[in-house]
Amino acid sequence: MGEGFSRRTLFGAGAVAAGIAGVGLTATAGARVVQPATATEPFYGVHQAGVATRPQAYTTIIALDLRPAHADRAGLRSVMKLWSEDAARLTQGSPALADTEPELAADPARLTVTVGYGPDLFDAVGLTANRPAALRTLPNFRVDRLESRWGGGQLMLQLCADNLLTISHACRILTKNVRSMTTIRWVQRGYRNPASASAGASMRNLMGQVDGTANLNDDAALEQYVWDPGADQPWFAGGTMLVLRRIRAEMDTWDEVDRHSKELFVGRRLSDGAPLTGSRESDEPDFTAAVNGIPVIPENSHIALARHRSDGEQFLRRPYNYDDTPPTGQISDSGLLFIAYQRDPARQFVPVQQRLSEADALNPWITPVGSAVFAIPPGAPVGGYVGQQLLER
Amino acid sequence: MGEGFSRRTLFGAGAVAAGIAGVGLTATAGARVVQPATATEPFYGVHQAGVATRPQAYTTIIALDLRPAHADRAGLRSVMKLWSEDAARLTQGSPALADTEPELAADPARLTVTVGYGPDLFDAVGLTANRPAALRTLPNFRVDRLESRWGGGQLMLQLCADNLLTISHACRILTKNVRSMTTIRWVQRGYRNPASASAGASMRNLMGQVDGTANLNDDAALEQYVWDPGADQPWFAGGTMLVLRRIRAEMDTWDEVDRHSKELFVGRRLSDGAPLTGSRESDEPDFTAAVNGIPVIPENSHIALARHRSDGEQFLRRPYNYDDTPPTGQISDSGLLFIAYQRDPARQFVPVQQRLSEADALNPWITPVGSAVFAIPPGAPVGGYVGQQLLER
């Protein structure tokens, strides 16, 4: 703070004084915050927004750790209150408290702020007994080539919006206000096709495939597979578990594969995402169809293995593409931020991923390089804060 | 190539054969490329697109060098032909030749592909005598803290579009097809407020300011200040010079400055971008207005110093915000990709930047960390390629 103010005095006290007296009045009289027509998503509620919310075009996901001096219940409560207060305002198009760039809050663009708790958080803050049993680090899969820089984190912020400027501003506000209590561990950024996002249709990933067709899509399914009923930890009723897998696309070798083979690996047509046994994306795949005894949708195609084999294996997918600056000597570093929500990853996501890891025809072209799991607490009650059900018991 | 094909055989020749015979026909019969309603910008013309084009929401700028074995006239011609052929198709919503993800080309989203030549290119390919005299590395400015990772490059690709997926795909195609002849030196990504971009209004930068108000805005001004008349190098008629400055915003100290001081540093109101002497963004600043003898717009404010002091100091600005992953221990790494087009940077941009460098009240909060200059050749004649006027003389 001292630095900023001492620098400011270089500008000349006379001019500043004139500005405040003369121009300041003009500015106040003439000021109007330009508020474009825009859409908002609710912040308060039974569930946090950003899970069942129709996917916005962009996401930035940040993992943080509490600094040792604040790794306790009081520290966690402080962070939760600050984040919730700011998120409640920013998501509705209002500047945060003491917002230093209030105009950047004018277009909420369906901003959602979703807070998560990593497996290590509960021990760190002395709440071991309150950790949901389903919050566990994923097992290692045979295909994994995990890099530590994309894993871990006691806390997570998932920001989603239809405007990148909105995300940049929210990200800055939310991390700035807790910087004395937290450190940033990693940041991942993703996007979807904005047209598809608006239409609510499936997106295309950077391998050219229509992605995320088979998905949970009604409230009853969400109640059954996504939202926690609180049977294990009553405070967690209305929460869910997020699995984030950073999956690199091996584009250089993928681009060498011919089109028909690509479709067989996936089990869907590239042109429109229809299963190889159907004519529209929404058609149910027919895994029994065969030509000369050979399945039309190969048994080791991605969709045949990814499909749930029992009701319990279903989860909500909300993926984003990523396309980052390539390392020296390469021309791209892109892939998918696979994001899934469910009550219990060990029972819902893991068995599916186990099958894919063993036999998915796509495996040579997709490499998981990051993996993280977070408990998503229930939504904040009106005027309250995320985590209140845990911290005010 | 060998690796991809050998991997593919793991999938089973039987299934692949069935797919081609059985499913392949279905796919062909049922295929339809989903072509969303979208806008296109022309590729061929007197000038390259992406300069006078109304700014799209996103940009990716890539600097490349020719590999030593291809650093000659033939190598440059090969790269130019490949890029032009692909760009002519992609900008119109058609897949590139041998496009491996053709569906990702379906939404051109006003894609423009703008090719540039760095100062080192002409010597490298034996065309020293044909280098436009105005293409020179910028002098060092007192405020510069340049990092070599954001400078240089024999070749440049500026991709702009209203859809990030479109940019990712075009970027991949254009760099992939020349990878045997080039290496990538750096990549910079930027965005504007999509709503502003659509409306053609000025954008806001991440410091909260309305940015780019004073700008050239009619064809006569572009003819006079931007497009080269070919007097120096006849082949360059219709070209222009790009200056790219990567300017980091020192948000941590900027956020400590009070609002009135910020407005005085800039000379414009934060709320709506109006000059401190006016009521609307488009109002002409009155640099003579004073209160008690003190100028309302301070003499060392950004707009007072940035304003042209002779007609020759005008140029076309087309800035983008950047917001990258922060280095360890920081919470943001953001700023502006300042992009300006003009006939002669030494006569148009440099005198303005010299003034700003010496006295701009904003200097403590903005740090140039990257600097690059590229000659933008004239547009490709219909069916021809960028650089043809240079290479087919």
Tokens coding A335: 């892939």
A22 lies in a domain?
no
Residues B267-295: pLDDT tens digits?
999 999 999 999 999 999 999 999 999 99
Measure CB to CB from residue A4 to each of B27, B253, B270 and give the nearest one. B253
Q: Tell me the longest C-alpha to C-alpha distance in chain A.
A: 89
- Who has greater pLDDT, B168 or A329? B168
**CA of A393, closest CA in chain B: separation in Å?**
32
Q: Using CA atoms, how far apart are residues B242 and B135, in angstroms rounded to an integer?
A: 9
Strand ranges in B226-329 using DSSP code E only, listed in sequence order: 240-249, 290-291, 294-295, 316-317, 320-324
Is A74 near chain B, with CB under 8 Å?
no
Question: Which of A59, A198, A271, A301 should one mutate to test binding to chain B, selecting the residue with the greatest count of B CBs within 10 A?
Answer: A271
HSE, side-chain direction, 13 A CA sphere, residue A324 = 19
The CA distances from residue A204 to B66, B164, B179, B191, in Å, are: 33, 12, 25, 21
Residues B248-262: pLDDT tens digits?
999 999 999 999 999
- Which segment of A133-137, B20-24, B43-47, B70-74 scores lowest on mean pLDDT? B20-24
pLDDT of residue A9: 31
Answer whether residue A29 shows pLDDT above 70.
no
Q: Strands A210-211 and A182-191, how do they pair?
A: unpaired
**CA of A347, closest CA in chain B: separation in Å?**
29
pLDDT of residue B299: 95
Residues B333-367: pLDDT tens digits?
999 999 999 999 999 999 999 999 999 999 999 99
Tokens coding A251: 């584009």
Answer whether residue B5 shows pLDDT above 80.
no
Question: Which of A32, A97, A100 should one mutate to test binding to chain B, selecting the residue with the greatest count of B CBs within 10 A?
Answer: A100
Measure CB to CB from residue B172 to each of A36, A325, A332 and give the nearest one. A332
Residues of chain B with pLDDT > 70, as a percent, come to: 88
Is A329 near chain B, with CB under 8 Å?
yes
pLDDT of residue A213: 80
How remote is the C-alpha of A189 from its chain's centroid? 9
pLDDT of residue A198: 52
Model confidence band, residue B212 (pLDDT cutoffs 50, 70, 90): confident
Which one of the listed residues A86, A120, A211, A228 is annotated catalytic?
A: A211
H or E element in which residue B337 lies: strand B333-342
**CA of B230, closest CA in chain A: separation in Å?**
35
B112 lies in a domain?
yes
Residues of chain A with pLDDT > 70, as a percent, come to: 88
Is A103 near chain B, with CB under 8 Å?
yes
Instruction: Report the mean per-residue pLDDT for chain B.
Output: 89
CB contact under 8 A, A100 and B208: yes
Measure CB to CB from residue B298 to each of A15, A256, A294 and give the nearest one. A15
- Which segment of A38-42, B5-9, B206-210 scores lowest on mean pLDDT? B5-9
Model confidence band, residue B203 (pLDDT cutoffs 50, 70, 90): confident
A218 lies in a domain?
yes
Residues of chain B with pLDDT > 90, as a percent, come to: 83
ipTM summary value: 0.88
Q: Using CA atoms, how far apart are residues B164 and B157, in angstroms rounded to an integer?
A: 16
pTM for the complete prediction? 0.89
A198 lies in a domain?
yes
Residues B301-311: what's their mean pLDDT?
92
pLDDT of residue B251: 94
B30 lies in a domain?
no
CB contact under 8 A, B18 and A294: yes
**CA of B368, closest CA in chain A: separation in Å?**
18
Domain carrying residue A380 = 43-391
pLDDT of residue B35: 39
For chain B positions 337-366, those within 8 Å of chain A (CB to CB) are 361, 364
User: If DSSP codes are grouped into helix, strand and coil, which group holds residue B304?
Assistant: helix
Is B332 near chain A, with CB under 8 Å?
yes
Contact B316, B52 (CB under 8 A): yes
Is A12 near chain B, with CB under 8 Å?
yes
HSE, side-chain direction, 13 A CA sphere, residue A282 = 3
A67 lies in a domain?
yes
pLDDT of residue B34: 37
- Who has greater pLDDT, B33 or A61? A61
Residues A11-32: what's their mean pLDDT?
29
pLDDT of residue B201: 66
For chain B positions 109-138, those within 8 Å of chain A (CB to CB) are none
User: If DSSP codes are grouped into helix, strand and coil, which group holds residue B214?
Assistant: coil
Measure CB to CB from residue A27 to each of B18, B100, B269 and give the nearest one. B269
Among all residues of chain A, which has the CA nearest to that of B60? A325
Residues A163-209: pLDDT tens digits?
999 999 999 999 999 999 999 999 999 999 775 555 556 889 999 99
Measure CB to CB from residue B168 to each of A255, A296, A323 and give the nearest one. A323
pLDDT of residue A202: 80
The CA distances from residue B39 to B100, B105, B107, B109, in Å, are: 23, 13, 8, 6
- Which segment of A10-14, A241-245, B98-102, B105-109 scores lowest on mean pLDDT? A10-14
Is B367 near chain A, with CB under 8 Å?
no
pLDDT of residue A203: 87
Burial class (CB in 10 A: 0-12, 13-18, 19+), A387: buried
Residues A141-153: pLDDT tens digits?
999 999 999 999 9
Q: Using CA atoms, how far apart are residues B300 and B298, in angstroms rounded to an integer?
A: 5
- Who has greater pLDDT, B14 or A69? A69
Tokens coding A104: 């950047």
- Residue A29 with chain B: CB contacts under 8 Å: none
Answer whether residue A262 shows pLDDT above 90.
yes
**CA of B214, closest CA in chain A: separation in Å?**
20
A106-122: burial string, b at 16+ Cβ within 10 Å, e else: bbbbbbbbbbbbbbbbb
Instruction: State the total domains in chain B.
Output: 1
Residues B142-160: what's their mean pLDDT?
97
For chain B positions 179-208, those within 8 Å of chain A (CB to CB) are 179, 183-184, 187, 189, 191-195, 204, 206-208
Model confidence band, residue B232 (pLDDT cutoffs 50, 70, 90): very high
Among all residues of chain B, which has the CA nearest to that of A299? B15
Interface A-B, measured as beta-carbon pairs within 8 A, has a size of 250
Measure CB to CB from residue A107 to each of B34, B195, B279 and give the nearest one. B195
C-alpha angle B275-B266-B291 in degrees, rounded to nearest 5: 60
Residues A101-129: what's their mean pLDDT?
96
Answer whether residue A352 shows pLDDT above 50.
yes
**CA of A3, closest CA in chain B: separation in Å?**
7
Is A21 near chain B, with CB under 8 Å?
yes
